[in-house]
């Protein structure tokens, strides 16, 4: 299996003969408001593409999810950063990073992330804005996340235990606490007391009393002071930037197959990582949204429970996991691995209307003698299933029809031109394009910034 040592350069603006290269054309032709979204069950490598594209955008914005996300990127010196709440544009000094209203924000986590970035020489001052409408995710949400998972016993979801579901529950039930509430410390204790009392009455093991509230309120008074310079009406900021013709890149967390509506419910996250989540999570109009790039791994991974039709169990799955270093960026959990699932990818493209795809981690398949491609779903009686099943039982019972393609058995991690890829690798990419009907414009051949082929 080929090694995955990151290389360090950023994409060169000029090709060897001095003409602008394909990469810059691809990036510069992206629309004023563009987005990068996950096509599978997360960890497709969205962070890497966002970091690369961010060099050509004024703002990078997150619109949903929270610190459940784990986006791994490398700076120009090859130093690794794992981001959770801070958008992956942060390594580009000119980029403003926006945490939109649809994000759930755990302040201790955010501050820790900012401190970590600053101690590694990344300046965050004046470069991160947090929406005054975003909901605050408290430590107790994380505790509740764990308690709910324990209650579910064998049917646990496999959440990241970062409190995401419980925080969005409070938002939807309408007793959540928002960033703007930090400006009203007179009513803040009462709101927090209601939430904590509610948890204490629901979960017997949850200890709660006046001392706990007092401590938490004191902590949040300090947090409120520290957060103040970051707080903004990001709806206004983003819309004004759009009027001023600035370029905005939206960074999706998780992915469509984990979407609360379109994913494999209930084994999903609690937000909308699909196109619709961009408008509700940032407060921008659908008509300003332009290109959406779907990020899809050359195989499939999933962390947590739930249906996974093309999963490879046993040794084959272990091989892919180690070749691709498939371990959770946030929790370190081993990711389940399987073949690329075209039926799920088509469903995802239908929902999001991608203008192009970024096929990532093609290098990871380099040692395989042959590659399987899940091309369709069939019922047990052999009839083809036309749409992605909503029903978990249908998903568990279906059969996947596979095509077998030849492997290339060559290290491709230093290839930078599409025409230099081995024929079998090009065949694999082109078969995917043909089946899905969306062009692949970017191909990842390593984790580093320059390990990208523009097609």
Beta strands in 67-169 (DSSP E): 71-74, 80-83, 96-99, 104-105, 128-131, 135-136
For residue 231, which phi and psi values (nearest 5 degrees)?
A: -75, 135
CB closer to ligand 2SA out of 65 and 446? 65
Catalytic residue, chosen from 17, 56, 58, 71, is: 71
> How big is the CA angle at 334 (ends 344 and 39), to the nearest 5 degrees?
25
Measured CA to CA in angstroms, residue 5 lies from 2, 42, 448 at distances of 9, 22, 8
Question: Quick one: which segment of 45-53, 126-134, 265-273, 285-293 binds ligand GDP (CB under 6 A)?
Answer: 45-53
Q: Does 87 bind ligand GDP (CB under 6 A)?
A: no
- Tell which one of 131, 256, 264, 329 touches Mg ion (CB under 5 A): 329
43 counts as catalytic: yes
What span, in angstroms and rounded, lies between the C-alpha atoms of 160 and 304?
Answer: 8
Smallest gap from residue 305 Cβ to ligand 2SA (A): 7
Question: Quick one: which segment of 65-73, 91-99, 347-355, 384-392 binds Mg ion (CB under 5 A)?
Answer: 65-73
CB-based contact 257:263 (threshold 8 Å): yes
Q: Does 72 bind ligand GDP (CB under 6 A)?
A: yes
- Tell which one of 256, 444, 450, 453 touches ligand GDP (CB under 6 A): 444
Smallest gap from residue 448 Cβ to Mg ion (A): 17
- Tell which one of 27, 35, 44, 177 touches ligand GDP (CB under 6 A): 44
Smallest gap from residue 388 Cβ to ligand 2SA (A): 17
User: Residues in contact with ligand GDP, total (CB under 6 A)?
Assistant: 22
Looking at residue 5, what DSSP letter applies? P
Give me the residues that bind ligand 2SA (CB under 6 A), please: 41-43, 68-70, 157-160, 162, 164-165, 254, 258, 267, 269-270, 303-304, 328-331, 333
Could you tell which of ligand 2SA, Mg ion, ligand GDP, none binds residue 334, using a CB distance below 5 to 8 A set by kind?
A: none
264: Cβ–Cβ under 8 A, 6 or more apart, which residues?
A: 257, 258, 306, 307, 392, 395
Measured CA to CA in angstroms, residue 206 lies from 189, 190, 197, 270, 422 at distances of 18, 19, 10, 23, 58
> Residue for token digits 């739930």?
306
**Three-state secondary-structure class, residue 253:** coil
CB closer to ligand GDP out of 44 and 341? 44
Q: Does 329 bind ligand GDP (CB under 6 A)?
A: yes
What span, in angstroms and rounded, lies between the C-alpha atoms of 429 and 362?
Answer: 9
Residue nearest to ligand GDP (CB): 444
CB closer to ligand 2SA out of 89 and 163? 163
Smallest gap from residue 47 Cβ to Mg ion (A): 7
CB closer to ligand 2SA out of 70 and 338? 70
Q: Does 342 bind ligand GDP (CB under 6 A)?
A: no
What span, in angstroms and rounded, lies between the C-alpha atoms of 295 and 88?
Answer: 15
71 counts as catalytic: yes
What span, in angstroms and rounded, lies between the C-alpha atoms of 53 and 12?
Answer: 13
Q: Does 363 bind ligand GDP (CB under 6 A)?
A: yes
* Contacts (CB under 5 A) with Mg ion, residues 67-96: 70
What span, in angstroms and rounded, lies between the C-alpha atoms of 169 and 157?
Answer: 16
Return the structure tokens found at 216.
């938490």
Q: Does 89 bind ligand GDP (CB under 6 A)?
A: no
352: Cβ–Cβ under 8 A, 6 or more apart, which residues?
A: 37, 39, 256, 274, 275, 292, 294
Q: Where are the alpha helices (DSSP H) in 137-282?
A: 139-152, 164-173, 188-202, 210-227, 234-243, 276-282
Smallest gap from residue 86 Cβ to ligand 2SA (A): 14
CB closer to ligand 2SA out of 264 and 355? 264
Residues that bind ligand GDP (CB under 6 A): 4, 38, 42-48, 70-72, 329, 360-361, 363-364, 444-447, 451
Residues annotated as catalytic (active site), given as ranges: 43, 71
Residues that bind Mg ion (CB under 5 A): 43, 70, 329
């Amino acid at each position: 299996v080929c090694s995955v040592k990151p290389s360090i350069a950023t994409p060169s603006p000029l090709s060897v003969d001095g003409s602008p290269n394909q990469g810059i054309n691809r990036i510069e032709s992206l629309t004023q408001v563009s987005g990068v979204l996950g096509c599978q069950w997360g960890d497709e490598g969205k962070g890497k593409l966002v970091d690369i594209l961010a060099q050509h955008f004024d703002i990078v914005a997150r619109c949903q999810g929270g610190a459940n996300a784990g986006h791994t990127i490398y700076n120009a010196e090859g130093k690794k950063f794992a981001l959770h709440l801070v958008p992956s544009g942060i390594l580009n000094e000119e980029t403003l990073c926006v945490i939109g209203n649809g994000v759930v924000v755990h302040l201790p986590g955010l501050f820790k992330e900012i401190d970590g970035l600053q101690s590694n020489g990344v300046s965050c001052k004046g470069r991160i804005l947090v929406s005054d409408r975003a909901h605050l995710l408290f430590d107790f949400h994380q505790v509740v996340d764990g308690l709910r998972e324990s209650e579910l016993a064998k049917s646990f979801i496999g959440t990241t235990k970062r409190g995401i579901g419980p925080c969005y529950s409070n938002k939807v039930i309408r007793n959540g606490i928002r960033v703007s509430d930090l400006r009203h410390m007179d009513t803040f204790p009462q709101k927090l007391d209601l939430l904590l009392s509610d948890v204490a009455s629901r979960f017997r093991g949850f200890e709660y009393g006046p001392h706990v509230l007092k401590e938490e309120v004191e902590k949040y008074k300090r947090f409120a002071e520290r957060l103040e310079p970051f707080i903004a009406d990001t709806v206004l900021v983003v819309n004004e930037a759009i009027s001023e013709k600035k370029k905005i890149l939206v960074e999706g967390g998780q992915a469509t197959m984990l979407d609360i509506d379109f994913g494999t419910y209930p084994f999903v996250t609690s937000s909308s990582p699909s196109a619709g989540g961009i408008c509700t999570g940032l407060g921008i109009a659908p008509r300003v949204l332009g290109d959406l790039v779907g990020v899809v791994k050359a195989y499939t991974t999933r962390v947590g429970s739930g249906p996974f039709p093309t999963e490879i169990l046993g040794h084959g799955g272990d091989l892919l996991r180690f070749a691709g270093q498939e371990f959770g960026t946030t929790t370190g959990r081993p990711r389940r691995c399987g073949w690329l699932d075209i039926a799920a990818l088509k469903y995802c493209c239908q929902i999001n209307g991608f203008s192009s795809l970024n096929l990532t981690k093609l290098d990871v398949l380099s040692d395989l003698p042959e590659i399987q491609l899940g091309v369709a779903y069939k019922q047990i009686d052999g009839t083809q299933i036309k749409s992605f099943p909503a029903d978990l039982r249908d998903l568990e019972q279906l059969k996947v029809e596979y095509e077998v393609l030849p492997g290339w058995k060559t290290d491709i991690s230093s290839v930078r031109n599409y025409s230099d890829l081995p024929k079998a690798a090009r065949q694999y990419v082109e078969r995917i394009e043909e089946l899905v009907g969306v062009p692949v414009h970017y191909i990842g051949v390593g984790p580093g910034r320059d390990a990208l082929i523009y097609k």
